[in-house]
């Protein structure tokens, strides 16, 4: 299959940090908020205007409004650092201002074996002085643990019903690369999105939490399956769950995730084996398996994703889905046929400096987009309208 024109790689000048947006007739520029972060992975916005940033090295740091990067917080549990593993996603509780609760996921080592690990989700509170995590509790551990340093997935979303938190969390999980066939099986957590309570309980209405499914060996936490390596997860203002995942060589996907659905990996894919060659039967569709809303060939290596709800970039941006690219160092702005949904209408690439891998994208309380660049000297950047 020929790559669509919108998917072809475009080279950008390293000095170019301005992009004229035809749709909004305004320029955009990137401002550095903080630098010197070691392979940062996720950012969250604290009520006082400062930031929390995870680093894949296993450290969690607070960044002051001025951009000063403070010492690592104490209280982070042991992390299996290596390859793609480390301290990964971070999400503040919707009532953080009152309860100081946050959630984070990471590659969790096996306490009984030094070479196996899996993705875990933990809850904690940020101490009043902002220097440590307290009351840390692991809510979920992916099973089984395997010897792998790849495909941890690890994105967190707090669920809502009628616009209010319903006390539940979604967690996206990779299939650990060497266990891709597991993504089609319900007796494990590899290549799944799971849904659990903020206290770790399993909701009674999860799609596979039924007597028949449990009897057949299905794990009750599973919400959807057939995923590869999800590194984007977001809930739209309308309450729909959106995910993106890495394809192998081509076939990165954006999916509208629904309860109990099968998203196909590795049976169907728009990608191919590294180095070339079909995966399985080399098919892209099969009955009972969901098609992506959008896919990229060649891969852009997506990471981070957010729906734009503010008018800071003009009304044309409202409802757009913005995705970071690790491979090409840009933001992919996906305009849909409907705000926060529908089919893809147009893709626009917002360049970042060449060499900067975009790991996370969030909308801040000020309505602006913030992104994290993944490198040993990573940065927290802010995208602002130009003059």
> CB–CB of 352/330 below 8 Å?
yes
Give the residue among 59, 33, 46 at the shortest CA–CA distance from 130.
Answer: 46
Token pair listed for 175: 């299939």
CATH number attached to the domain at 19-385: 2.120.10.30
| Confidence band, pLDDT 50/70/90 cuts, at residue 21 | very low
Whole-number pLDDT of residue 112: 86
> For the residues 267-280, what does the mean pLDDT come to?
95
- Give the C-alpha separation, 262 to 290, whole Å: 6
Q: Which tens digit of pLDDT belongs to each residue from 118-173?
A: 999 999 999 999 999 999 999 999 999 999 999 999 999 999 987 888 999 999 99
Partner residues linked to 33 by β-bridges: none
Angle, alpha carbons 316-317-320 (nearest 5°): 120
Listed in sequence order, the residues at least 6 apart from 269 whose beta carbon sits closer than 8 Å to its beta carbon are 228, 247, 248, 251, 279, 284
Q: Is 311 a catalytic residue?
A: no
Per-residue pLDDT of 110-120, as tens digits, reads: 988 779 999 99
> Angle CA(328)–CA(5)–CA(277) in degrees, nearest 5?
75
Residues 6+ apart with CB under 8 A from 159: 165, 166, 167, 168, 169, 170, 195, 235
Residue 17 has pLDDT above 70, yes or no: no
Selected catalytic residue, list 151, 189, 244, 246: 151
Confidence of residue 103 (pLDDT cuts 50, 70, 90): very high
Q: What is the pTM of this model?
A: 0.92
Query: Per-domain residue ranges for the chain?
Result: 19-385
Beta strands in 142-267 (DSSP E): 153-161, 164-173, 192-197, 222-225, 229-235, 241-246, 252-257
């Amino acid at each position: 299959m020929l790559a669509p024109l919108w998917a072809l790689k475009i080279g950008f000048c390293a000095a170019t940090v301005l992009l004229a947006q035809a749709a909004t007739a305004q320029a955009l520029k990137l401002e550095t908020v903080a630098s010197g972060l070691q392979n940062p992975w996720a950012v969250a916005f604290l009520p006082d205007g400062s930031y929390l940033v995870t680093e894949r090295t296993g450290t969690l740091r607070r960044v002051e409004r001025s951009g000063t990067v403070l010492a690592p917080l104490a209280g982070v549990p042991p992390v299996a650092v290596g390859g793609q593993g480390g301290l990964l996603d971070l999400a503040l509780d919707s009532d953080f201002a009152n309860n100081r609760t946050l959630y984070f996921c990471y590659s969790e080592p096996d306490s009984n074996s030094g070479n196996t690990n899996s993705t875990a989700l933990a809850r904690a509170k940020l101490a009043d002085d902002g220097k440590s995590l307290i009351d840390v509790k692991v809510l979920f551990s992916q099973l089984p643990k395997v010897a792998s340093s790849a495909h941890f997935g690890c994105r967190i979303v707090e669920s809502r019903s009628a616009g209010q938190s319903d006390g539940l969390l979604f967690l996206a999980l990779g299939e650990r690369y060497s266990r891709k066939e597991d993504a089609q099986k319900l007796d494990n957590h590899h290549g799944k999105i799971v849904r659990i309570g903020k206290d770790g309980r399993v909701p009674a209405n999860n799609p596979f939490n039924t007597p028949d499914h449990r009897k057949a060996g299905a794990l009750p936490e599973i919400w959807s399956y057939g995923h590869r390596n999800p590194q984007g997860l977001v809930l739209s203002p309308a309450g729909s769950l959106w995910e993106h995942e890495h394809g192998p060589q081509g076939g990165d996907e954006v999916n509208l995730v629904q309860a109990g659905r099968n998203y196909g990996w590795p049976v169907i894919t728009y990608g191919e084996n590294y180095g070339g060659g079909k995966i399985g039967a080399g098919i892209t569709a099969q009955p009972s398996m969901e098609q992506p809303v959008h896919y990229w060939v060649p891969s852009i290596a997506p990471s981070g994703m957010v729906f734009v709800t503010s008018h800071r970039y003009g009304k044309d941006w409202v409802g757009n889905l913005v995705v970071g690219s690790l491979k090409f160092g840009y933001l992919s702005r996906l305009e849909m046929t409907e705000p926060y949904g529908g089919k893809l209408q147009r893709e626009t690439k917002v360049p970042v400096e060449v060499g900067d891998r975009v790991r996370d994208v969030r909308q801040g309380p000020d309505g602006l987009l913030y992104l994290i660049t993944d490198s040993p000297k990573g940065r927290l950047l802010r995208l602002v309208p130009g003059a």
